[in-house]
Amino acid sequence: MHSQHSYPHTAAMLAVLSGLILLIAACNPTKHVEQGQYLLRNNSLKIKADKSLTNKGELTDALNSLIIQKPNTYFLKIAPYKVSLYNMRYKRYQRDTAAENFQKKLRTVERPVIFDSTLVDRSLQHMRAHLFNQGYFYSKVTDTAIYHRRKVRVFYQVETGMRYLINKTLLDIDDSDVASFVRASMGQSALQTGKPFAMTMGEEERSRITNVLRNKGYYKFSTDNIHVLVDTFNKSILKDVANPFESALNYIDQQHKPKQATVDLHIIIRKADEPKAYQRFKIGKLSIYPDFVDRKDIRDSSLRRFNRQDVNFSYHNYFVREKVLLNQIFLRPGDYFTQDNYDLTITKLNELGVFQYVQTYIIEDSTLPKDRSLRCIILMNPTKRYDFSLEYEVSSGTTYTLGNSVGINFRNRNLLKGANQLSISMTGGLELGYSNELADKFVDRFYLLSRNAGVNATLDFPKLIAPFSLNSSNTTARPHTILGLGTNILDRVDYFTLINTTASITYNWHQRSNITWDFSPAFINILRLPRIADTFQRRLDSNEFLRNSYRQSFIEGESIYFNYNNSNGPNARRHYSSIRAGFEESGGLLSALNSLVNLENSLGLRYSQYVKFEADARHYIRRQHYSFAMRFFAGIGLPYDKSTALPYIKQYFVGGPYSLRGYRVRQLGPGSYYDSTNVSSNNFIDRTADIKLEANAEYRFDIIQMFGGALHLNGAAFVDAGNIWLAKPSPDYPNGEFALNKLGSDVTVSTGLGVRFDISGLFVIRVDEGFPIKNPAYPVHGGWVGNEIQFFNSDWRYNNLVLHIAIGYPF
């Protein structure tokens, strides 16, 4: 859902908002602070470190989070509105603590934060401990409190000192087999010579080695069997222990050398209290309960039991085939236990989507042979097989006044007992225009602009389905085969009726946990226009590009897309990226067939020929109370051979709530083309093209958190830039083609502000208002329109400010 309108009352709203801020700021936050007490106004932190510190921002955030006592919430760092609301009802809260507690739970009021120096001391201790754990063994952390008018500001000064680097890592292991496995894995260790050392790296290394050994069958091995000792003393100064005088001179000499401090690490591995820590275990028995109810099932003789590939299955109801489950299970009798296969089994069984939960138990069974003594039991509970949902939406947009749509969705999570997911959706909607001149009654002023309806279905198989064998040893690939089929009808009353029938087959698989591929060896679009209005036909007759775009055609092609996303990576708390890039081709196969059989003459088949390249790159920088989001999109579609334009459904457009927010949908381009005789908001049909470049940047920040964190009101400032172009010059669109020498002048730039209502993290209602600051149709100053901006002019606001209301973030 999205809505876009020019907003003429922005200045008035800003004035009201400014007045409210000043009113709240005028309230004295120290009004009920007792004599001798001070309100904590602000904490600030300054870090002094050597030039080798590369993660200063991350370290600053971490140390700030360790400051125990936080000041009150200030709107825009000026107005303590929650304290002001508390002070306004202070007498009532003194009488009725329940009312105060209720408001505190909603997080709408705050008592004044009274400065407590003991909490400063504890904060200093926590900071020193954190710095020590990060390898700053001799840091210095101090504080300064400045008192002024019953308020106090606390300044924390941090001198990190020199961070220790890793000199060498030594292994002390009392078992030769274990030692060989660990030594072979040390290339994967983060403990490499010359790397900065942190105490947390010792724990990470213990976990890494434990995982390595558990993947070799050491089921009872744990981190308790590993100890990491840190030695900060530089033994190079004691080169000749038999000569104390020379050692003393070496020590003095080392003190005057600007040498980086280093540590030696000793990794010690022992059996400790686990006598079987060095024993390798194999799976002896594997039992599966696909529709587990309770513990009685383990001994219930009435269950239906099967044995497939030495795996025992026990069912109440045979609702999913055992072969489907075996394809997702990587723990097999006779194999060594591995932690990776254990984790992968749980992940893939959950991904099937037919279970509410999956629980795996592994125990040592003394009744089994010693070399195969592990018994594995997997318990699963089925989820609901069928799912129905109904969606209804009311919206308003650039090209219509009132829109509504309804959607009915059906899903079968376990078609044919194969964990195959069948999804069917049926949609329909209307878009209405509005005119005061049509009638006296309000209801009669609406008129029909367009209507649409569609039926679409997908069938997702949790495996590869192909006419040839696809044997792969990559157990992490998690392949899926997705079939799609659908028909959608768009009826624009004054223009045309378009029917788009689609079919596709897509293979999806994981190359790694953060890399996936989507390959469609075949997709089909059949575009038909059973009705074309006379007015629209005249436009087609006079515009070759438009006529080729809207012609009836058969689209058959293939595509492949690469997807990268590290949002679950180790540094995702600070920053992460995503990339989607792909290639699509249509008409190549049909062109080859046409050389053998004239498809156009014999079958009357007109097919489209084009190639498309697309790339969408995004990067996010996260901080405690703000973040930066950046996106760059590039797309190009090139018709070839008999095709002179891309099909309409494959073309690009810009503008709207998810693109250039200073413009409405399809209000811009191609290039610097501008038609001053055709600026009606409904005449948007031809604002599409073959090439698109777009860049977006957004600064997002916290404003208010309310109702116990159930509602977050956040703000944003954004800049969008880009445009669309034709691949070839067209007389119908002067200056609409792409050319490198005029790229700078053709790019448009818009900016604006927005607010986001984040409701419990479930969904976000977004309100953005943008306006152009560079317009390629503007004849002077290279298109920059800064001298034309007049926020207090109602005509300028009406013609330039564009309001967007949408669900979710723009990117």
Handedness of CA 129, 133, 134, 139 (dihedral sign): positive
> Shortest CA distance to 178 belongs to which of 207, 228, 229, 221?
221
HSE-CB for 282 with a 13 A CA cutoff? 10
DSSP secondary structure of 466-512: -SS------TT---EEEEEEEEEEEEETTTEEEEEEEEEEEEEEEEE
Tell me: do 170 and 144 sit in the same domain.
no
Tell me: do 290 and 239 sit in the same domain.
no
CATH number of the domain residue 311 falls in? 3.10.20.310
Domain boundary among 126, 159, 192: 159
Tell me: do 46 and 134 sit in the same domain.
yes
500 CB neighbour count, 10 Å cutoff: 18
* Domain extent at residue 323: 285-382
Tell me: do 6 and 151 sit in the same domain.
yes
Rg (CA), the chain: 34
Q: Supply 502's token pair.
A: 């689609």
pLDDT of residue 394: 67
Tell me: do 8 and 150 sit in the same domain.
yes
- Cα(566)–Cα(513) distance, rounded to whole angstroms? 9
Tell me: do 238 and 328 sit in the same domain.
no
Tell me: do 179 and 314 sit in the same domain.
no
> Shortest CA distance to 750 belongs to which of 677, 668, 629?
668
CATH number of the domain residue 170 falls in? 3.10.20
Position 142 in a domain: yes
Backbone phi, psi, residue 57, to 5°: -60, -45
Q: Are 283 and 374 in contact (CB under 8 A)?
A: yes
Q: Which residues lie across from 586 on neighbouring strands?
A: 557, 610
Tell me: do 26 and 98 sit in the same domain.
yes
Position 189 in a domain: yes
Position 141 in a domain: yes
> Shortest CA distance to 652 belongs to which of 682, 681, 694?
694
pLDDT of residue 102: 61
Domain boundary among 348, 382, 416: 382
Tell me: do 259 and 232 sit in the same domain.
yes
pLDDT of residue 258: 46
DSSP secondary structure of 525-565: EEEEEEEE-HHHHHHHHH-HHHHHHTS-EEEEEEEEEEEEE
pLDDT of residue 571: 82
22 CB neighbour count, 10 Å cutoff: 11
Alpha-carbon separation of residue 732 from 547, 670, 753 (angstroms): 11, 11, 36
Q: Supply 234's token pair.
A: 């530089």
Q: Which ranges of the chain have pLDDT less than 70?
A: 1-27, 51-52, 76, 99-107, 233-259, 394-401, 468-476, 601-604, 676-686, 708
Whether omega before 462 lies within 30 degrees of 0, making that bond cis, reads no
**Amino acid identity, residue 469?**
S
> Shortest CA distance to 716 belongs to which of 730, 732, 696?
696
Q: Are 799 and 793 in contact (CB under 8 A)?
A: no
Confirm whether pTM is higher than 0.95: no
Q: Are 187 and 212 in contact (CB under 8 A)?
A: no
Position 784 in a domain: no
- Cα(168)–Cα(746) distance, rounded to whole angstroms? 57
pLDDT of residue 238: 40
326 Rama sector, left if φ>0, alpha if ψ -120 to 50, beta otherwise: alpha
pLDDT of residue 428: 96
- Own/partner pairs for 572-578, CB < 8 Å, 24+ apart? 573/622, 574/57, 574/58, 574/621, 574/622, 575/619, 575/620, 575/621, 575/622, 576/619, 576/620, 576/622, 577/617, 577/618, 577/619, 577/620, 578/617, 578/618
Position 224 in a domain: yes
Alpha-carbon separation of residue 523 from 486, 500, 501, 506 (angstroms): 12, 13, 11, 8
Position 64 in a domain: yes
Tell me: do 23 and 147 sit in the same domain.
yes
- Cα(564)–Cα(559) distance, rounded to whole angstroms? 17
Position 367 in a domain: yes
DSSP secondary structure of 62-87: HHHHT--PPPPP-BTTTB-HHHHHHH
Tell me: do 83 and 126 sit in the same domain.
yes
Count of domains in the chain? Answer: 3
Tell me: do 347 and 325 sit in the same domain.
yes
Domain boundary among 99, 129, 159: 159
Position 108 in a domain: yes
